[in-house]
Structure 1
Amino acid sequence: MNQANVLKPNDVRRLTDAVAPDRLLTDPADCWTYGYDNSRRHVCPQAVAFPHNDEEVAALVQACQTLKLPVVVRGRGSGTAGAAVPLAGGLVISMERMDAILEINPDDRLAVVQAGVTNGTLQRALDEYGFFWPPDPTSADYCSIGGNLACNAAGPRAVKYGTPRDNILGLTAVTGQGEIIHTGVHTTKGVVGYDLTRLLVGSEGTLGLITQATLKLTPKPAGRRTLRATYNNMTAAARAVSRIMAQPETPCVLEFIDGQAIRMIRDYAQVELPANAGAMLMIEVDGNPARLDQAQNAVANAAKGEGLQSLEVAASEEEIRGLWAARKALSPAQRKIAPKKINEDVVVPVSQMGALVSGLEALSEQYGILIVNFGHAGNGNIHVNLLVDPDDSDQMAVVDECLNEVFALVLKLRGTLSGEHGIGFDKKQFVGLEIEPESLALMKGIKAVFDPNGFLNPGKLFPD
Structure 2
Amino acid sequence: MSTTTPTPELSAGFLKSLARIAGAGRLLTDPADCWPYGYDNSRLHALPRGVVFAADEAQIMALVALCRDAGVSLVARGRGTGTTGATVPDRGGIVLSFERMDSILRIAPEDRLAVVQPGVLNEQLQRAVGAVGFFWPPDPTSAASCTIGGNLAYNSAGPRAVKYGTPRENTLGLVAVNGRGERLRTGVLTTKGVVGYDLTRLIIGSEGTLALITEATLKLTPLPEAKRTLRAAYADIHAASAAVSAIMAQPVIPCALEIMDAAAIRTVQRYAGLDLPEGVGALLMIEVDGPAAGIDQSVAAVAAAADHAGLIELRRAESAEEVTSLWKTRKALSPALRHIAPKKINEDIVVPVSRMGELIEGLEGLSRESGVQIVNFGHAGNGNIHVNLLIDPDDPVAVESAHRCLDEMFSLVLRLGGTLSGEHGVGIAKRAFVEREIDAPVLALMRDIKRQFDPAGILNPGKGFPEETAEHPARQR
Instruction: Give the TM-score of the pair, scaled to structure 1.
Output: 0.98
Q: Structure 1, residues 98-128: CA drift from partner, whole Å, max 9, x if none?
A: 1110100000000000011110100010011
2:473 corresponds to: none
Q: Is the 8 A contact 2:6 2:91 kept in 1?
A: no
- Please show how residues 203-222 of structure 1 align to structure 2 within 5 Å: 203-222=206-225
Quick check: 1:350 aligned with 2:390?
no
- Please show how residues 85-234 of structure 1 align to structure 2 within 5 Å: 85-234=88-237
Determine which of 385, 396, 400 is the counterpart of 2:399. Answer: 396
Residues 59, 299 of structure 1: alpha-carbon distance in 2 compared, 3 angstrom cutoff? same
Q: Structure 1, residues 327-347: CA drift from partner, whole Å, max 9, x if none?
A: 001001111112310000000
Q: Structure 1, residues 7-28: CA drift from partner, whole Å, max 9, x if none?
A: 4432222112322131111111
Q: Which amino acid aligns with 1:354?
A: G
2:256 corresponds to: 253
Q: Is the 8 A contact 1:238 1:353 kept in 2?
A: yes
Quick check: 1:37 aligned with 2:61?
no
2:474 corresponds to: none
Secondary structure at the counterpart of residue 404 of structure 2: helix
Q: Which amino acid aligns with 1:160?
A: K
Secondary structure at the counterpart of residue 418 of structure 1: coil
Secondary structure at the counterpart of residue 78 of structure 1: coil
2:67 corresponds to: 64
Aligned residues: 464
Q: Structure 1, residues 246-297: CA drift from partner, whole Å, max 9, x if none?
A: 1111100000000111011111111222232110000000111111100110
Consecutive unaligned residues in structure 1, runs of 5 or more: none
Secondary structure at the counterpart of residue 264 of structure 2: helix
Secondary structure at the counterpart of residue 387 of structure 2: strand
Quick check: 1:382 aligned with 2:420?
no
State the Cα distance separating 1:2 from its structure 2 match: 12
Secondary structure at the counterpart of residue 45 of structure 2: coil
Quick check: 1:359 aligned with 2:362?
yes
State the Cα distance separating 1:396 from its structure 2 match: 2.0
Distance in 1, Cα, partners of 2:54 & 2:351: 40
Distance in 2, Cα, partners of 1:399 & 1:32: 29
Residues 277, 101 of structure 1: alpha-carbon distance in 2 compared, 3 angstrom cutoff? same
Q: Is the 8 A contact 1:5 1:46 kept in 2?
A: no
What RMSD in Å do the two structures reach over aligned CA positions? 1.4
Q: Which amino acid aligns with 2:432?
A: Q
Q: Is the 8 A contact 1:232 1:307 kept in 2?
A: yes
Q: Which amino acid aligns with 2:65?
A: Q
Distance in 2, Cα, partners of 1:275 & 1:411: 35
State the Cα distance separating 1:393 from its structure 2 match: 3.6
Determine which of 273, 278, 281 is the counterpart of 1:278. Answer: 281
Q: Structure 1, residues 178-229: CA drift from partner, whole Å, max 9, x if none?
A: 1110000000000000000000000000000111100000000011000000
Determine which of 380, 405, 409 is the counterpart of 1:406. Answer: 409
State the Cα distance separating 1:55 from its structure 2 match: 1.3
Q: Which amino acid aligns with 1:384?
A: V
2:292 corresponds to: 289
Secondary structure at the counterpart of residue 29 of structure 1: helix
Secondary structure at the counterpart of residue 60 of structure 2: helix
Secondary structure at the counterpart of residue 357 of structure 1: helix
Q: Is the 8 A contact 2:120 2:147 kept in 1?
A: yes
Q: Structure 1, residues 336-359: CA drift from partner, whole Å, max 9, x if none?
A: 112310000000000000000000
Secondary structure at the counterpart of residue 414 of structure 1: coil
Quick check: 1:427 aligned with 2:430?
yes
Distance in 2, Cα, partners of 1:243 & 1:351: 9
State the Cα distance separating 1:4 from its structure 2 match: 8.3
State the Cα distance separating 1:5 from its structure 2 match: 6.2
Q: Is the 8 A contact 1:7 1:26 kept in 2?
A: no
Q: Is the 8 A contact 1:346 1:418 kept in 2?
A: yes
Distance in 2, Cα, partners of 1:352 & 1:447: 34
Distance in 2, Cα, partners of 1:79 & 1:114: 19
Residues 26, 391 of structure 1: alpha-carbon distance in 2 compared, 3 angstrom cutoff? closer
Deviates more, 1:387-396 or 1:369-378: 387-396
Identity among equivalent pairs (%):
61
1:54 corresponds to: 57
2:272 corresponds to: 269
Q: Is the 8 A contact 1:266 1:273 kept in 2?
A: no
Distance in 2, Cα, partners of 1:103 & 1:178: 26
Deviates more, 1:60-69 or 1:280-289: 60-69
Residues 3, 189 of structure 1: alpha-carbon distance in 2 compared, 3 angstrom cutoff? closer
Q: Is the 8 A contact 2:102 2:121 kept in 1?
A: yes
Instruction: Give the TM-score of the pair, scaled to structure 2.
Output: 0.95
Deviates more, 1:271-280 or 1:231-240: 271-280
Deviates more, 1:45-54 or 1:186-195: 45-54
Q: Is the 8 A contact 1:370 1:388 kept in 2?
A: yes
Distance in 2, Cα, partners of 1:2 & 1:11: 20
Q: Which amino acid aligns with 1:429?
A: A
Distance in 2, Cα, partners of 1:185 & 1:23: 32
Distance in 2, Cα, partners of 1:8 & 1:207: 26
Residues 20, 393 of structure 1: alpha-carbon distance in 2 compared, 3 angstrom cutoff? closer
Q: Which amino acid aligns with 1:460?
A: K
